[in-house]
Amino acid sequence: MPSDLREQVRRALEHPHLSAALTRFSEDYRTSRARAYEGVDFEALRERIAARKADAAQRLDELAARFAAAASARGAQVTRLHTPAEVRDYILGVARRHGARLVVKSKSMATEEIHLNATLEQAGIEVKETDLGEWIVQLARQRPSHMVLPAIHLTRDDVAELFSREVGERLQAEIPRLVQVAREQLREKFLRAEIGITGANIAVAETGSLVICTNEGNARLVATLPPVHIAVVGVEKLVERLEDIEPILAALPRSATAQRITSYVSILTGPAEAAGGGAQEMHIILYDRGRMEMARDPLFRQALQCIRCASCLNVCPVYRLVGGHVFGKVYTGAIGTVLTACIDGVAEARGLEQLCIECGACRDVCPAKIDLPELILEVRRRAAGTAARPLAARAAFSIVSNRRAFHALLRAASLAQKPLADGPFLRHLPMWLTEAGKNRRLPALASVPLRDRFPRLPQPRSERRVAFFAGCLIDFVYPEIGEAVVRILNRAGIEVVFAEKQTCCGAPAHFSGLPEAAAANARDNVEAFSGAGYEAVISACPTCTAALCTDAPRALRQQGEHDLAGRAEHLAAKTVDFSTFIRRLVEEGAMRMPAGASQPPLTYHDSCHLKRTLHAEQPPRQLLRGAGYELREMQESDVCCGMGGSYSLKIPEVSSAMLARKLRMIAATEAEGVALDCPGCLMQIRGGCAAADAPVRVHHTAEWLASLLEATD
Amino acid sequence: MPGSGCSLNYGVESATLVSDPMLEKFRQNAEAAGAETVTARSADAALAAIARVLKQEGVGEGGRTAVWADGPLRATFHPEILAQMLPGVLLDVTRESAAAAHAGITEFDWGAAATGTLLQDASAAAQRLASALPPVHVALLRADRIAEDIGAALRRFEPARAPFLALVTGPSRTADIERVLTIGVHGPRRLVIVLYEPETGHAL
């Protein structure tokens, strides 16, 4: 992570109200968005949007030409421009022809992208943003920190200060009064401006129509009052048919502001009558910088589906802490990282791509069904491929991807830490782990890893056999989780096999943007589990499960190893997470969980990969309840705890802030224990509880269940 | 009515006001979006409803004016009757008269029940000026012109014949300062929708 970005992160976290305001917003958003989508089949809706937009993205040239023909036939002057300079020059040309001295604008990300305002001002033309948030940001000489709520980082006091300076009068920080001031100040500009500039939310190829949504009503004034209207529209806004706007109009307001529809939707098809009589002069600039390259890229093409609702910002646990001035450039948050990389180049997105913790929350809510975490990983891969910086990371992964060397290193570390270990927690950490232990105590490596304990576990011989995939954390740090899994499976009459040659699942390399290293792990694991004789491969780590199920086959295929990829798919089909497998056994009647009299109340933390990749958030809850535990749901149980694998090492400040919040949510339930299904989350949350002296026991679901077996044994 | 563009068919029989579930749904959703709704059983009753709103708003007193953009209901009344019934209302809608007006009256073509949205072919500048500039907007809609949702309502228009289609749902709003919902930023702070039953065969 570049040091200046690191510094910005630190400053954002220290900001007196930024995180608080954004966090309140994201909390409210969660419920208000859900309410706005009540009665709507979101999956079907986003399927439609994704299909229409994906189709459009594949033939932007054709649709742009059809749009131009249709809009021209209606009297608009349509031009297709490629670079920011071309757009700026075109607009300056129109302004000069009309002797324009004042331009009013409604919100347009495309004009933000080309820094139009500065150009116009340098040419002696006054520019007024008219969207309230944009105007505030313009007065503050900043850039928007959020695509829908540009001034969300500013308070009413900030706004009162800015407006007071603008009107030369001391204004109180009363919001209705400030809004009234904006109305009065800008009304005069609307009426006086010679040119109005808008963006567009959608452009319809077959009719040449532009669709513009606002709540304030500024866009229709910008498009109506001045004699000249210029619309600057990114080509990605194109859809083919008029009916394609329906699903977008249904989703955009719901996802953006939790409204069923914005107050105003204007559909402009060629110039209408000008406010002063006669036909208005209408220019439409179809702007395609970076977009055509995206359209040719099989992966990044997806990002052209974006409808700019900003829901990926609203649910992002990192954005809510640091805001869009840190997490983004012109475009912010998850989609901002991808668009920055595509439009301004991967170098511009370096660092941003590391801010993403890969929790997957944005993928779940994206109304255009963009796989944002995957696209950000791709940005990371490309950044890693071009930068000198990740040499250290490459060196580290060259060890992780060499099973023998990696395991030898872990064993050595387990011995080396001996004088430093403080009970189950490390007081001081070896090597690269040092900076991670600030607000979280890190566990000691187990003195005997699971792989060495396994042969000594007393197991019944059985017809039914499963293999256990341990993963590094369970193997070397929390072997007791593995032992709990074995006890429970044994109870169901199942024998558990440990494949000696298994190694890291590949997730750390995958999430670090190093696909070759991930493929090397996948290769070792496919070989390790090539033996037959077991019905399933059980993992008690959702990240490992997801890595084996989805990432490993893909990584091998991408390396051109198709035979191995086929075998990896075979392994994937047999691999299942612990709780899902046990629930299946319970349903089959193969086992019954003994329910103790009264178990302590627990709260359940949803791990990102278990909930959003494996969609298995119910089985552990059902098992725990079935075993007699009272479950007290915490608020935002599925928001990432901040672990994110090596994320907690790379950006410990953000990780700690996420952890602190998770601990508050846990404490608020007054539960005596936390159950979770991921050893990574366990490391994070147990370490956080220990550092905070919180009297909460944190265990894997397998351990909570196994403890009942012991009670009845 | 495909092919007929925005020349809407005003000869359709109207449904009765109170019992129409589509109308009820429209009202509910329009009100949820912050609009007020009034029903009127006749064109005369609609006029009376407009008069009440304008009076509340002080139009006609102290030089306070309103503008009424051209529309089918307006056309049913003689300008002298309008001048008598609605003091302060101007029928000549220009940038200047609309910018100075306290209220604007416009007539919408369709409503969408699912969202309480009004739809209008606003290609004539007067329609946009009267509905966007004044702080109070009185929107007229025939009670039998309500479609299920925006998609269904949009299909009643043909964009090629309506260069400016306006969809309006509730008053102008912003949440740009500390996310506090504030009504009436650039557009109207008050939207009153008068849903009226047309008298078929009368005065048209």
Q: What is this model's ipTM?
A: 0.91
A-chain residues near B167 (CB < 8 A): 261, 264-267
Domain A595-712: top CATH class: alpha beta
Query: Is the CB of A261 less than 8 angstroms away from the CB of B117?
Result: yes
**Selected residue of B118, B180, B185 to mutate for chain A interface (largest A Cβ count, 10 A):** B185
Residue B125 has pLDDT above 90, yes or no: yes
Which of these ranges, A392-396, A402-406, A431-435, A652-656, has the smallest mean pLDDT?
A431-435
Residue A109 has pLDDT above 90, yes or no: yes
Residue B10 has pLDDT above 70, yes or no: no
**Selected residue of A264, A280, A281 to mutate for chain B interface (largest B Cβ count, 10 A):** A264
Q: What is the pLDDT of residues A557-607, one digit of tens each?
A: 999 999 999 999 999 999 999 999 999 999 999 888 776 667 899 999 999
Q: How confident is the model at residue B4 (pLDDT cuts 50, 70, 90)?
A: very low
Element containing residue A287 per DSSP (H, E): strand A281-287
Beta strand pairing call for B182-183 and B173-174: antiparallel
Q: Does A281 touch chain B (CB under 8 A)?
A: no
Element containing residue A488 per DSSP (H, E): helix A479-491
Q: Could you say which of B95, B117, B187 has the minimum Cβ distance to residue A216?
A: B187
Residue A428 has pLDDT above 50, yes or no: no
pLDDT at A426: 52
Please state the rounded mean pLDDT for residues A323-329: 95
Determine if residue B64 is left, alpha or beta; phi over 0 gives left, psi from -120 to 50 gives alpha, anything else beta.
beta
The better pLDDT of the pair B39, B200 is held by B39
Please state the rounded mean pLDDT for residues A218-247: 97
Q: What is the pLDDT of residues B18-43, one digit of tens each?
A: 458 999 999 999 999 999 999 999 99
Please give the residue of chain B at the shortest CA–CA distance from A40. Answer: B114
Residue A676 has pLDDT above 50, yes or no: yes
pLDDT at B76: 94
Measured at the alpha carbon of residue A326, what is the angle toward residues A324 and A332, in degrees to the nearest 5? 35
Q: How confident is the model at residue B5 (pLDDT cuts 50, 70, 90)?
A: very low
Query: Is the CB of B163 less than 8 angstroms away from the CB of A221?
Result: no
Alpha-carbon gap: B201 to the closest alpha carbon of chain A (Å): 32
CB B88 within 8 A of CB B60: yes
Burial code (b: 16+ CB inside 10 Å, e: under 16) for A585-611 equals bbeeeebebeeeeebeebbbbbbbbbb
Return all residues near A78 (Cβ < 8 A) that are at least 6 apart. Answer: A67, A68, A71, A72, A208, A283, A284, A286
- What are the domain boundaries of chain B? 21-196
Residue ranges of alpha helices (H) inside B38-149 are: 43-56, 72-76, 79-85, 95-100, 125-132
Q: Does A69 touch chain B (CB under 8 A)?
A: no
Residue A649 has pLDDT above 60, yes or no: yes
Residue A46 has pLDDT above 90, yes or no: yes
pLDDT at B11: 35
A-chain residues near B122 (CB < 8 A): 272
Query: Is the CB of B182 less than 8 angstroms away from the CB of A156?
Result: no
Alpha-carbon gap: B95 to the closest alpha carbon of chain A (Å): 6
A-chain residues near B180 (CB < 8 A): 156, 175
Query: Is the CB of B176 less than 8 angstroms away from the CB of A271?
Result: no
pLDDT at A215: 97
Please give the residue of chain B at the shortest CA–CA distance from A266. Answer: B166
B-chain residues near A216 (CB < 8 A): 172-174, 185-187
pLDDT at A598: 77
Q: What is the pLDDT of residues A356-407, one digit of tens each?
A: 999 999 999 999 999 999 999 999 999 887 654 455 666 667 777 788 877 8
Which of these ranges, A273-282, A586-595, A662-671, B3-12, has the smallest mean pLDDT?
B3-12
Using the 8-state DSSP alphabet, how is residue A212 labeled?
Answer: E
B-chain residues near A32 (CB < 8 A): none
Query: Is the CB of A272 less than 8 angstroms away from the CB of B169?
Result: no
A-chain residues near B114 (CB < 8 A): 260
pLDDT at A25: 94
Parts of chain A belonging to CATH 3.40.50.10420 = 49-123+190-291
Query: Is the CB of A242 less than 8 angstroms away from the CB of B95?
Result: no
Query: Is the CB of B187 less than 8 angstroms away from the CB of A217?
Result: yes
Residue written as token pair 């702007």: A287
A-chain residues near B154 (CB < 8 A): 242, 246
Helices A391-400, A515-528: inter-axial angle, 10-degree rounding = 0
Alpha-carbon gap: B199 to the closest alpha carbon of chain A (Å): 30
pLDDT at A438: 57
Query: Is the CB of B150 less than 8 angstroms away from the CB of A243?
Result: no
Residue A429 has pLDDT above 50, yes or no: no
Return all residues near B120 (Cβ < 8 A) that are at least 6 apart. Answer: B106, B107, B108, B109, B110, B127, B131, B165, B166, B168
pLDDT at A211: 98
Pairs of CB atoms within 8 A across A/B: 161
Q: Which two tokens stand for residue A158?
A: 């900030």
pLDDT at A415: 67
Q: Could you say which of A207, A218, A249 has the minimum Cβ distance to residue B186?
A: A218
A-chain residues near B124 (CB < 8 A): 272-273
CB A245 within 8 A of CB A252: no
Domain A49-123+190-291: top CATH class: alpha beta
Nearest to B160 by CA among A74, A278, A68: A74
Residue A147 has pLDDT above 80, yes or no: yes
Sheet hosting strand A102-105, strand order edge to edge:
A77-81, A281-287, A228-234, A195-198, A102-105, A126-129
**Selected residue of A263, A269, A281, A284 to mutate for chain B interface (largest B Cβ count, 10 A):** A263
At the topology level of CATH, where does B21-196 sit? Rossmann fold (3.40.50)
